[in-house]
Amino acid sequence: MHKIFALLIVAFFSISSTAYANVDLSGKTITWVVPFKEGGGTSRFARFIQPFLSKYLPGNPDIQIMHIPGGGAIKGSNYFQKNAKPDGTYLFGCSTSVIVNVATGNPLVEYNLSEYRPVLLLPQNTHWFTRTDLADGPHDLSKLKERDLVLYALKTPASADLFHIWVFDKLGIKGAKPIPGLSSSGGYQAFLRGEIHISSHGAANYKKKVKPEIEKGKVVDLMTLGIIGADGSVSRNPLAPDAPTFPEMYEKVNGEKLSGDDLEAFYSIGAAWSQASKSMLLPEGTPDEIVEAFRDAAKKMVDDPEFKEKATKALGPFPLIIGEEAGEIVKKAAVFSDNTKDQLNAALKKNRFTFRVQ
Amino acid sequence: MEQFFSSLLQLFEITHLAFLFGGTLLGLVVGILPGMGGTSGLALVLPFVFTLEPSYALAMMIGVLAPTTTSDTFPAVLMGIPGTSGSQATVMDGFPLSKKGMAARALSAAFSSSLLGGVFGAIILSVSIYYAIPIIMTFGFGEQFLLVVLALLMVGALTGDNFVKGITACCLGLIIGSIGTAPITGDLRYTFGTLYLLEGVPLVIVGLGLFAIPEIVGLLDGRGAIAKSLKNEKGWLIGIRDVFRHWFLVLRCSTLGCLVGALPGLGGTVVDWIAYSHLKQTVKDGSQLGNGDIRGVIAPEAANNAKEGGALIPTLLFGIPGSGNKVLLLGGFVLIGIEPGLDMVTTNLDLTYLMIWSLALANILGAGLCIAFASQISRVTLVPYYILAPVMICLIFFATFNVNRDWFDFIGLLTFGLIGITFKNFGWSRPALLIGFFLSTKVELLSYQTYAVYGLSFISRPVSIVLIILCLATIFLLLRQKFDVGYDSSVVKNKVQQICFVLFLSCLPITMIWSIAHLDYRANLYPTSLSVIAGILLTFILLIKVIDLRQVKALDNVMVRFARTHIFEHGNGFNNQLYYYASLLGYLGMNFIFGFPIASVIFINLFILFHDRKSFKVSAIITAVMILIFWFLSSLLTLQFPIGAIGLMIDMPWWLGGELTQ
């Protein structure tokens, strides 16, 4: 009787895990390449995931994080492309700027990101807001649209901040003028001093720094980028449930739904900027069974009570994206269509930038 | 208020204390080594702090910074050599006291006044944090731009002996800082198509090259200075009593130190002299000053520790460094993800208070250790140069490689090392170059941002006017004090060499203009105009040098005489130091071939045995300890050693210099 029972258990487990039954990483060391400096967002993301992933991968391998900063994240990414073996012992920590390097056609890029096999994505979301005296109540663009000069912060046109230019262009804010070289936190300070007119922040800083100012009545919400679902629907950001998403704002301003080329561009930008803000990928050509083993470990990790407890604080409020849909998102983010490139370049040209998406 | 005390509790956690204590010990050691100061010390720890929690890293960095101006008194008093630039004035009376057999009294007076000054600085800092928000809110782009420019002017004018050379060094620093991706357009400037220079030259490399290498090479060259031992020296209590008798002087000089420290850019280099001249002007009977007056020790030491608190004000609030070591502290902030500015007094207030407490505690710890273990610590000054130097060099190489894990970093290190040696010998200001380098991006961006928001109207804003007047007045007053009547250029032997160096320096602006001429005007306007300014300044220096060389009598007026002060520097050790510098090249070559661990073993042994054949036991022990430390550090932090050619050809374990992974 016992034997039959035991056999049944074995059978059950072998069925439930056929896809990666022969994946065993015990005794191995996984190298997780992070193309940034220690202490940055991607490094913190990797460090947070590292112990949980090790716990749930078959064989509990050691995971060591290898930082290779430099060259605008290109150096470490190229290193990964050249050195990573597709046997589950190499992982890549990716972020929006790594994707933007590919999407904008940086000639120094040698990594083939769109063929990588994503395990999980960590989304992020952008909030835009303005000073109370520059809007008729929350979510109003009409006053800003009348101004001759609407200044906003822009790190460099070769970074993800490039998308701000496109967003303000599509919303018809004619006076919009980027001030280069301002990080989002430096930009926010200048915004509070009254030197620039629109500012933006990611979810964590929005909650910590912007919400108090909104409650004081000094700042009003404009909109959020919106959370893009697997089916392409865009829902509101739970942190600012009253604020319209970009597609809603687009419709309000232009009188027609976001569609066609503009919608396509929005999906690409949203994928790069929001959905794949941070991600963990396996190298090109990794066999399906290994990819499945990692995705399975990631799914188990998300259900871990300790992970649940700490994740919101460490990673932000948005749930991880795990599985096949992650692959689609990374492809969309890394390969911009010609239409999207033209749109971005037109916006760049309007703002007299020499940088072009290639 | 609540955070003020909660951060105190946080500091007294055992791990925090351990990091603070470790940092303090390191700070004490680098302070004692002549010439090495907080800048070199921080540059050494910076490549490793990223693995720490931000609060631990802060405790450690402050720990390194705070006590250097305390322990630098050892060489100042015992050897007559300032340990850091902040204790130059201490030598004036400290060394005579030591020659009179009162070294213990001088040291204990110096440590006690350092302690009081340091704590006073921390108190002033915490009070000013309280008023910081309105200050930050009134400093828009325009005011920040002026603050930065005036910081540069001050550093340039005051850190060198010749102010034209100082300003030129600043300007060259700004040009070097503009290498890399242009912040406004994203164009690549002066990168020659390499990935390495895409983000500019790494700060730690510049810091280590400019400060650590010249001092080590100088240490090797100046082998004559061996200190006396402090055994059985009495008078410790007299020194402490002296300080309490002159409490008002301590208070005055601490206030002065804080104020001067808070002026951006002025920082550490002149504060001791300002305190000393204040003493001279206010003292009733000054006949003993310069011959061993204890007040001449108390005044500069109180001031140079108090300035740390003051110098943190512009550093934390605006990200504008007060001195060379604050540049590296800011670099550390970036590594652990802290951005100076409003956040430091709002969301990150707990970290700010943690720094203030660390500063106070590190000062107390540093002074306490110095007094308690004075005779033991003073023996560090007895360690022969040929043992100290190879150890320091290996540490520097190890730290360098961990900046980017890139061989190019060594080339950068040795290039800036050579520049540092030349700068030091020929009387060019290294702090000016470093601060210019660090602030370059800020200057470019702020000028663009100011223009976009205000046009030219920013100059007429009230704070701007106050800033301009305040700083110009300070520069004027201090420059008058700096004019050195006793300067005599006729003793300088290598004038032609020094003229050639100016020609060499002018290559940078010329090639910069040439290499970026094809870029968009927003990418090349800033480096080009800087290069033109640097070119004019260099031509002027060249002209003055030639006037001096040829003794042109016709051009002898006040302006020329002023510009001629220290236009040439003695630079006697230059050729010798180049010779020692060459051994660094040899070490680098060995690294290329054998990889880091084997090369270090060979280098340390060769170096020590070359100078003293009998000390093979010493060299073996030192090598073993060093290698153990490196193994410990790299397995703890999963660091890769530089792999040499042999390591690439045959499979070696990582601890011998093979590849770390797999």
Pair A108, A220 in one domain? no
Tokens of A91: 């992982």
The reply to whether A13 falls in a domain is no
What is the three-class DSSP state of B633? helix
Pair A144, A262 in one domain? yes
ipTM over 0.85: no
Domain of A144, CATH number, reads 3.40.190.10
Nearest C-alpha in B relative to A28: B662
pLDDT at A198 over 70: yes
Pair A55, A108 in one domain? yes
Pair A227, A241 in one domain? yes
Which one-letter DSSP state was computed for residue A198?
A: E
Going from N- to C-terminal start, the domains of chain B cover: 2-449, 595-656
* pLDDT value of position A15: 45
* pLDDT value of position A11: 47
**Cα-atom radius of gyration of chain B, to the nearest Å?**
24
Distance from CA of A354 to the nearest CA of B (A): 7
Residue A14 touches chain B, beta carbons under 8 Å: no
Please state, in angstroms and rounded to a whole number, the distance separating the CA atoms of residues A236 and A233. 10
Which one-letter DSSP state was computed for residue B185?
A: T
Pair A311, A207 in one domain? no
For A28-91, the DSSP string reads -EEEEEE-S-TTSHHHHHHHHHHHHHHHHSTT--EEEEEE---GGGHHHHHHHHHH--SSSSEE
Which residues are CB-neighbours of A183 under 8 A, at least 6 positions away? Answer: A153, A155, B339
Nearest C-alpha in B relative to A76: B404
Pairing of strands A62-67, A29-34: parallel
Q: What are phi and psi of A70, to 5 degrees?
A: 115, 155
Please state, in angstroms and rounded to a whole number, the distance separating the CA atoms of residues B5 and B357. 9
User: Which residues of chain B lie closer than 8 angstroms to A44, CB-CB?
Assistant: 337
Q: In which domain, by residue range, is A82 found?
A: 26-123+276-322
**Residue B342 and residue A189: Cβ atoms within 8 Å?**
yes
Could you tell me which residue, A187 or B405, shows the higher pLDDT?
A187
**Residue B187 and residue A354: Cβ atoms within 8 Å?**
yes
Pair A92, A158 in one domain? no
> How many other β-carbons are positioned within 10 Å of the β-carbon of residue B496?
10
- Tell me the CB-side half-sphere exposure of residue A205, using CA atoms within 13 A: 21
Q: Which of A30, A47, A67, A161 to mutate to test binding with chain B, by most B CBs within 10 Å of its CB?
A: A67
Pair A138, A180 in one domain? yes
**Residue B341 and residue A151: Cβ atoms within 8 Å?**
no
pLDDT at A277 over 60: yes
The arithmetic mean of pLDDT across residues A85-100, rounded, is 93
User: Which residues of chain B lie closer than 8 angstroms to A40, CB-CB?
Assistant: 337
Q: Point out the residue among B51, B346, B523 whose CB comes nearest to the CB of A38.
A: B51
**Residue A39 and residue B50: Cβ atoms within 8 Å?**
yes
The reply to whether A39 falls in a domain is yes
Residue A154 touches chain B, beta carbons under 8 Å: no
The arithmetic mean of pLDDT across residues A307-318, rounded, is 86
Pair A182, A261 in one domain? yes
pLDDT at A1 over 80: no
Q: Point out the residue among B198, B341, B406 whose CB comes nearest to the CB of A189.
A: B341
The reply to whether A4 falls in a domain is no
What is the three-class DSSP state of B1? coil
Please state, in angstroms and rounded to a whole number, the distance separating the CA atoms of residues B617 and B607. 13
Pair A42, A115 in one domain? yes
> How many other β-carbons are positioned within 10 Å of the β-carbon of residue B213?
27
Pair A342, A203 in one domain? yes
Distance from CA of A1 to the nearest CA of B (A): 46
For residues B510-546, one letter each, b for 16 or more C-beta atoms within 10 angstroms of the residue's C-beta and e for the rest, the string is: eebbebbeebbebbbbbbbebbebbbebbeebeebbe
Residue A218 touches chain B, beta carbons under 8 Å: no
User: Which residues of chain B lie closer than 8 angstroms to A72, CB-CB?
Assistant: 181, 198-199
Distance from CA of A179 to the nearest CA of B (A): 6
Those residues of chain B that have pLDDT short of 50 are: 224-225, 662
The reply to whether A18 falls in a domain is no
The reply to whether A357 falls in a domain is no
* pLDDT value of position B290: 84
Number of folded domains that form chain A: 2
- Tell me what the pLDDT averaged over chain A comes to: 88
Pair A237, A346 in one domain? yes
The reply to whether A8 falls in a domain is no
Residue with tokens 């926010």: A188
The reply to whether A346 falls in a domain is yes
Q: Point out the residue among A89, A186, A195 whose CB comes nearest to the CB of B140.
A: A195
Name the H helices within chain A. 2-16, 41-56, 74-83, 96-103, 142-146, 162-170, 184-192, 203-205, 211-216, 246-254, 260-270, 288-303, 305-315, 324-334, 338-350
Please state, in angstroms and rounded to a whole number, the distance separating the CA atoms of residues B309 and B393. 31
Q: Which of A37, A47, A152, A218 to mutate to test binding with chain B, by most B CBs within 10 Å of its CB?
A: A37
Residue from B505, B498, B503, B501 nearest B548 by CA: B498
Which residues are CB-neighbours of A234 under 8 A, at least 6 positions away? Answer: A226, A227, A228, A245, A246, A247, A270
Tokens of A23: 């994946």
Tokens of B468: 């301009």
Distance from CA of B515 to the nearest CA of A (A): 18
This prediction has a pTM of 0.85
Tokens of B350: 């707990």
Domain of A109, CATH number, reads 3.40.190.150
The reply to whether A19 falls in a domain is no
> How many other β-carbons are positioned within 10 Å of the β-carbon of residue B65?
28
Distance from CA of A342 to the nearest CA of B (A): 19
> How many other β-carbons are positioned within 10 Å of the β-carbon of residue A73?
28
Structure confidence by residue, pLDDT tens digits, B230-277: 666 778 889 999 999 999 999 999 999 998 888 876 666 678 888 888
Interface residues on B facing A, Cβ-Cβ cutoff 8 A: 50-51, 54, 136-137, 140-141, 181, 183-187, 195-196, 198-199, 335-337, 339, 341-343, 346-347, 404-406, 441, 444-445, 448-449, 452-453, 520, 522-523, 638, 661-662
Pair A44, A113 in one domain? yes
Structure confidence by residue, pLDDT tens digits, B339-353: 888 888 888 888 899
Please state, in angstroms and rounded to a whole number, the distance separating the CA atoms of residues B157 and B474. 11
> How many other β-carbons are positioned within 10 Å of the β-carbon of residue B73?
33
Please state, in angstroms and rounded to a whole number, the distance separating the CA atoms of residues B28 and B61. 13
Nearest C-alpha in B relative to A193: B137
